[in-house]
Structure 1
Amino acid sequence: MKLLHLSDLHLGKRVNEFSMIDDQEYILKEILTIVNEQKPDGILIAGDVYDRSVPTEEAMRLWDDFLVRLSEKKVPVYAISGNHDSAIRFADHGALIEEAGVHFSPVFDGHTKCCTIEDEYGPVRIYLLPFIKPATVRALFPEEEINDYTDACRVAVEHMQVDKSERNILVAHQFVTGASRCESEEIVVGGLDNVDASVFDDFDYVALGHIHGKQHIGRETVRYCGTPLKYSFSEKNHKKSVTVVELGTKGKVTISEIPLVPRHDLREIRGTYEELMCKETYEDTAVDDYIHAVLTDENDVIDAMAKMRVVYTNLMKLSYDNKRTQANQEITDAQNVEQKQPIELFAEFYEKQNNQAMTGEQQQFVQQQIEKIWEG
């Protein structure tokens, strides 16, 4: 059995105020070409179809068109909502398109949707777990002890009653401990959204979404496929792809990748203004790529952005790397934010503002407020 793993389309996204909708339409057509060539038995889409809970009309039309094209090819789709998706808009017309082989899981209601497909080796169970928070699962299972995201996912998986003798796939949208983030992702301080990978041990393959760089966590079969496009300059060196998952007999899983070539790359160029504007520098390069220009001039160039866009038409960002900016980079207050608990960050802020540490009573009060806010 062959399945394609996609996630984090973020349809309707803007990067540095540039709309990515045309690039997204292009890359979805490239994915459809891969579908024609690979002839998969299904498509796994692990959340964040849209970039916002109220997507643009363009984004919704693009998603609808993609589903129609897959339906015409008789390729089943197994999709979950992510933290960016609105359950209602994500699963628009869900009851109708179920008949066309498009299977949605927009919201977790205590029961995880399971779809079964078969090949010559027997059934494959595909479990569709949309993005969940501890408060959501705690409300559904008040008798369970749920303190964090790992507990929430553990309880959800336990109630799936997975038959470990069968071949099982999980589609989920969570941050699994150890994954590497990018600037284009939401960051939760203190790692409070971490999920331990051991929660997913009962599954032969875990199709993950939420993290924008492709990677596996622990074993090869707990995997983020990454975004189909670059959505920040921290991703400039990423090689985007579609992940191909092939299942044989129980325990036999083969994983490969098919590269995705974008309409416009997102890349960084570096040098003095004169160097970058010299024809010998940009000649025979894709000057219409999305560009971050890093100028090494010691003095700011007047109206540099407008001048450089005469050559680099999609110049997104301009910054300087010189003695002045290097000195500014020595500020370290914001380092290691992800490694600190929210109470630690608040205590540091309080001490800087008041020139004294918080009392034990104050810390206890702040911690209680953080917990209330987090669960809300």
Structure 2
Amino acid sequence: MKFLHLGDLHLGKSLGEFDLIEDQKYILNQVLDIIDNNSVDAVLIAGDVYDKSIPSEAATRLLDYFLNHLAAKHVKVFMISGNHDSDDRLNYGSTLFESNQIYISAVYNGQLDKHVIMDGEEKFNIYLLPFVKASQVKHFYPEAGIETYEDAVKTIIDNSEIDENENNILVAHQFVAGKGEDPECGGSEGAGTQNVGLVEKIGYDIFDKFDYVALGHIHSPQKVGREEVRYSGSPLKYSLSEVNNDKSVPIVNIEKKEVTVDSISLKPMRNMRHIIGKIEDLLNKENVTAQEDFIYATLKNEEIINDAMGIFQQIYPNTVKIDYDNSHTREIEQVDISQIAQNRSFTELISDFYSLMYKCDISDEEMEMMRMAAREAGVIDETN
């Protein structure tokens, strides 16, 4: 039986001011073509279906479009919620969906959700584990001594009847690591998960009862520990940290517990690129390519370019962000901010920062504008 593994769709996401719905529809249509060309039997969607817990109307329409096309192809769907999803919203209509072989597990209810499908005489058990926190599982197993996410997931698996002689597939959305190494992170999930230390980290070996583990949560496609424990990665680049990722989808073939995985490349409607150099070089006609791509630009110019974004968007209309890498920014990076801020007023800090950046003193008018912005943001009060 052939499975296509997806995760981290983040439907409804934007890059800065740019809506990605058309880019997401484009890539989902590509996935539909891959399903046709590879005679896929079922699709595994490993969470973060939506980008926000309250998805936009456009995002819900796009999911409806994708699921309807899968149902029309008689392709089975097994989908779970991720940490970005609203359990209740993703679960809405799940009973009705099952009549079209679309199975959704969005809320953990104390047991591992299981679905059995047959391919001739061969049996496949699909287990669905939506994103869970240790506190959620502790509610159902108060005597289990659950402290970490690994404790929680291990408890769930240990309390499930899994016949290791059968074909067992798990769909999960957690931070899973190999022995002595973390997965290569990309996107918003990376930094947030790394900062929690060992609490959220789950060792891949607790999934040894499963022939294939379809993971979501990390945006970079990769195996974890063994070939059969795998992040599909997000289908599109969603942050600058993913700019060098080659996006793909795994096609998983399982026959009599033998698993093979083939990755098929995805080509976006608009790529994301990070270009670095002086503005006059980057926008030279000889160097300009693929003008519709999403652009992050790092300028090497020593002086600040007035309206750099406006200038860039005349050539690259989908420029997302511009920053600088020059002697001033490198000098700032070497400064110990905590020491600078100690026992110093807002005015002193802003004056020093301005002088460091522009090599001149800030004017009274500019300082008043900074103080006004700081008051509105709650950084200082009226008496400061």
| Cα 1:130–1:269 shift into 2, 3 Å | same
Gaps of 5+ in 2: 344-384
**Hey, what's the Cα distance between the residues in 2 that align with 1:75 and 1:109?**
26
| Cα 1:220–1:331 shift into 2, 3 Å | farther
Give, as a single letter, the amino acid of the residue that structure 2 aligns with 1:268: H
1:52 maps onto 2:58 in alignment: no
**Hey, what's the Cα distance between the residues in 1 that align with 2:160 and 2:48?**
23
- Deviation sequence 1:334-358 (CA, Å, 0-9, x none): xxxxxxxxxxxxxxx9xx989xxxx
**Hey, what's the Cα distance between the residues in 2 that align with 1:312 and 1:185?**
28
- Deviation sequence 1:191-213 (CA, Å, 0-9, x none): 22111112111100000000000
1:328 maps onto 2:332 in alignment: yes
Give, as a single letter, the amino acid of the residue that structure 2 aligns with 1:229: L
Give, as a single letter, the amino acid of the residue that structure 2 aligns with 1:231: Y
**Hey, what's the Cα distance between the residues in 2 that align with 1:84 and 1:298?**
40
Partner residue, 1:81? 81
**Hey, what's the Cα distance between the residues in 2 that align with 1:33 and 1:269?**
32
Within the candidate set 257, 260, 270, 1:264 is matched to 270
Rg comparison, structure with higher value: 2
| Cα 1:103–1:261 shift into 2, 3 Å | same
1:183 CA drift (Å): 3.7
1:90 CA drift (Å): 0.8
- Deviation sequence 1:170-226 (CA, Å, 0-9, x none): 000000122122242261423221111121111000000000001111111110010
SS in 2 for 1:229: coil
Within the candidate set 311, 317, 341, 1:313 is matched to 317
Partner residue, 1:228? 235
SS in 1 for 2:252: strand
**Hey, what's the Cα distance between the residues in 2 that align with 1:115 and 1:190?**
33
SS in 2 for 1:309: helix
Partner residue, 1:21? 21
> What is the percentage of aligned positions where both structures have the same residue?
45
1:118 CA drift (Å): 2.0
* Greater Cα offset, 321-330 or 258-267: 321-330
1:332 CA drift (Å): 7.8
- Deviation sequence 1:140-173 (CA, Å, 0-9, x none): 1112110100000001111221111111010000
1:168 maps onto 2:159 in alignment: no
| Cα 1:314–1:179 shift into 2, 3 Å | same
**Hey, what's the Cα distance between the residues in 1 that align with 2:277 and 2:325?**
9
1:100 CA drift (Å): 0.3
SS in 2 for 1:280: coil
Partner residue, 1:255? 261
1:203 maps onto 2:207 in alignment: no
After TM superposition, the runs of 4+ consecutive aligned structure 1 residues lying more than 6 A away are none
1:321 CA drift (Å): 1.1
Aligned residues: 334
**Hey, what's the Cα distance between the residues in 2 that align with 1:332 and 1:132?**
39
1:121 CA drift (Å): 6.1
Q: Decide whether the 8 Å contact of 2:8 with 2:219 is kept in 1.
A: yes
1:244 maps onto 2:251 in alignment: yes
Q: Decide whether the 8 Å contact of 1:121 with 1:248 is kept in 2.
A: no
Give, as a single letter, the amino acid of the residue that structure 2 aligns with 1:308: F
Give, as a single letter, the amino acid of the residue that structure 1 aligns with 2:175: F
- Deviation sequence 1:34-65 (CA, Å, 0-9, x none): 11111211000000000011000000010011
1:136 maps onto 2:143 in alignment: no
Give the TM-score, by structure 1 length: 0.86
Q: Decide whether the 8 Å contact of 1:121 with 1:249 is kept in 2.
A: no
SS in 2 for 1:185: helix
1:98 CA drift (Å): 0.4
| Cα 1:331–1:225 shift into 2, 3 Å | farther
Partner residue, 2:279? 273
Q: Decide whether the 8 Å contact of 1:134 with 1:148 is kept in 2.
A: yes
Gaps of 5+ in 1: 334-348, 355-376
Give, as a single letter, the amino acid of the residue that structure 2 aligns with 1:45: I
SS in 1 for 2:315: coil
Give the TM-score, by structure 2 length: 0.84
**Hey, what's the Cα distance between the residues in 2 that align with 1:276 and 1:230?**
22
1:295 maps onto 2:302 in alignment: no
**Hey, what's the Cα distance between the residues in 2 that align with 1:279 and 1:5?**
41
SS in 2 for 1:298: coil
1:120 CA drift (Å): 4.6
Within the candidate set 168, 189, 201, 1:194 is matched to 201
SS in 2 for 1:10: coil
Partner residue, 1:180? 184
Alpha-carbon RMSD across the aligned residues, in angstroms, is: 1.7
Partner residue, 1:33? 33
Partner residue, 2:356? none
| Cα 1:101–1:353 shift into 2, 3 Å | farther
Partner residue, 1:370? none
**Hey, what's the Cα distance between the residues in 2 that align with 1:153 and 1:353?**
45
**Hey, what's the Cα distance between the residues in 1 that align with 2:33 and 2:295?**
27
**Hey, what's the Cα distance between the residues in 2 that align with 1:171 and 1:89?**
19
SS in 1 for 2:70: helix
| Cα 1:10–1:75 shift into 2, 3 Å | same
